[in-house]
A and B are shown apart, each in its own frame.
Chain A
Amino acid sequence: MNGFLGPFLVRELQSGLRSGRRILLLSAVLLTIATLFCLVYALVHETASTTTGDIGIGTAIFPYVVGLNLGVLCAVAPASSARAIAYEREQHTLELLRVAPIGIHQLVLGEFIASSAFPILLLIALLPIDGLAYLLGGATWQELGIALILLIGSLVLFVSLGLLISSLSAGVRPAIAATYTTIGLLTLGLPVLGLLGSPLVDSWLRSSSPMLVAHPPPLLLALGEIVVAIDPWIAGSIGLAQIQRGSSLLTLTASAGLTQTFLPAPWLLFGIESCVLSALCLKLAARVLTRPPRKLPV
């Protein structure tokens, strides 16, 4: 185990994962997911037998399973990471870590690993349920790969975002509230904004510059996709639709009039964006911690 990551992970295992609250939460999540899985299975089984017939039940269930896993991450990862640095500050242990012979980046990375431990444990605990979707038939390796990238990307992104907010907050509660709000806006706000805003933008563009609608510049399309792909739900939905359509997995074709623009697949873009944004969040968190205080520390 890496010299500086080990202590943080061991501490997390000793304190966080030993607590009854976490075990209770783990059990509740597993029970909920298993129940939802059964419900989805029943629903899909009934629909599949009447309509889709030949498609494997696993294929039909798989998107729901990935969605449930993403939901679990959205629910658990922010609380876990938003608490990290703010709790150290509340408990007056941040100073002790800062005078220890580990760099500030190692400190942030240690907190990142510790904060990821419980969400990872949850995902591992959910593996048997995820596996059922595969065993029931139909889900391909490509689907599994995309799902894995979406889940890992979301985990890394949510945890780092939580850590950044945690480093900026004075207390645990404000940090948790702010992190849930930010991740909520990111995952739910974006689709809502898209649904509500796109007809308005579309009609405005059609009336003001119809040429732009007929022949949108590739840069504008790429920019739109970059914004949209930050949402794992959207990126995942498009990725799974691509698989079901049998189109290219790595690219997305945007057609406007006679022109066709090839863009990277949203799930791929999400993987890259989550890595870049996470690195940025961790870097900023480290910067916040080394920032000289503007007020006399009490």
Chain B
Amino acid sequence: MPAVSVQQLTQRFGRYTAVEALSFNIAQGSIFGLIGPQGAGKTTILRSIGTLLIPSSGDVVVLGHSVKTEAGAIRPLLGFMPAQFGGYDELLVWEYLDFFARLYGLSPRSRFATIRNTLELLELTDFHDRYVRQLSRAMAQRLSLARCLLHDPELLVLDEPTAVLRADARKVIHLLLGELQAVGKTIVLSSAILSDIVDVCTHGAIIDRGKLVLSGSINSIVQQTLGERRLVIDLLGRLEPSLMQRKIAAFPAISSPRIQVTGLRTTIHCGTRATDSELVILLRQLIAIGLPVLSYREEPHHLEALFRQITRPEEH
């Protein structure tokens, strides 16, 4: 049984459709990332999983319970962290956690031990008696995660948990999510930063304008996102571009070639879907037809740029 099953989920707000006929499953024990630009519908999906929104149509089944009819059964099993930190300024950090621990029905004996252990896990012990309003954004984010963990939920739903954090603080959260996965928690999170998802998630889905673009394991998403490899081949001498275009056209494995002549060199920029071994053969063939190949390199992929290509940002 998947931890979460999103079934033909549609969410409408008045005339605006935020999410349309979306279906995917989230396996138990996985870290599932929802990737998409701002306004793609990630938060709407997370709120639907978190029982905050009732689907306009379709359903979301969380740990075997429908959000439409059994929201009450889902809530004790769920730790929900919204994108914006929700805190009571006048409370101390331990009081804040104590309030939620009481709401989740923790007994007085276990409550204090749980709060102490959670603060330790999140490295917040030194902030035990600070006011919530005195915390930095990174610390507030950690406190928010601590609140989610108090009642030991099976499923964590985290909306952009690292959005406002610096790289080092992001790393800390990523490590922690890895530890939580290792103890069997299922984690669903969202991010507009692809590299964040690639770093921490095992599975994911790319969402754009409320629709599913891609889903699956992170490796398969990266492969599909990367698509073509970009090659840069340097040739010795100033060669005639049109002649070069004709010669390269004979190689179907090479796509969209662009010839650039600079100084005493001619450079071919092109794309290919060839594997490593196919690439070796291709280079041999280029030399065999008499091209003076001086060097060859692969352009590094810029994940975010490719991601933006896929998700086509809103036109302004």
Contact = CB atoms under 8 A, between A and B. Distances in A.
Interface of A: 3-4, 6-7, 10-11, 14-16, 18-19, 91-103, 292-297
B64 interface: no
A200 B91 CA distance: 55
A10 B102 contact: yes
B86 to A, nearest CB: 4
Contacts of B209: none
Contacts, number: 83
B54 A292 contact: yes
A92 B85 contact: yes
B91 A15 contact: yes
Give me the 3 closest cross-chain CB pairs, A-B, nearest first: A15-B90, A7-B102, A92-B86
Contacts of B52: 95, 98-99
Given A14-B92, A98-B52, A101-B105, 4 more contacts: A11-B95, A15-B88, A96-B147, A295-B16
Contacts of A14: 90-92, 95
Interface in B96-119: 98-100, 102-105
B187 interface: no
Contacts of A19: 90
Given A7-B99, A14-B95, A96 B86 contact: yes
Chain B interface residue number, banded: 35 or more
Nearest to A94: B86
Contacts of A102: 103
21 contacts: A3-B105, A7-B99, A11-B99, A14-B95, A15-B88, A15-B90, A15-B95, A16-B90, A18-B90, A91-B87, A92-B82, A92-B84, A93-B87, A94-B86, A95-B80, A96-B80, A100-B103, A101-B75, A101-B76, A295-B16, A296-B13
A294 B86 CA distance: 22
A95 B52 CA distance: 7
B248 to A, nearest CB: 49
Contact of B75 (A16, A100, A296): A100
Q: Which of the listed residues B53, B87, B90, B99 has the most CB atoms from chain A within 10 Å of its own CB?
A: B99
Contacts of A6: 102
Interface stretch (B42-50, B174-182, B196-204, B234-242): B42-50
B18 interface: yes
Contacts of B92: 14
Given A14-B95, A293-B13, A297-B43, A7 B88 contact: no
B305 to A, nearest CB: 28
A292 B14 CA distance: 10
A100 B88 contact: no
A98 B13 CA distance: 19
A95 B85 CA distance: 11
Contacts of B89: 91
Given A11-B95, A100-B103, A293-B13, A93 B88 contact: yes
A94 B88 CA distance: 11
B76 A295 contact: no
B103 A97 contact: yes
A164 to B, nearest CB: 21
B205 interface: no
B271 to A, nearest CB: 38
A101 B80 CA distance: 12
A292 B48 CA distance: 12
B190 interface: no
Contacts of A98: 51-52
Contacts of A11: 88, 91, 95, 99
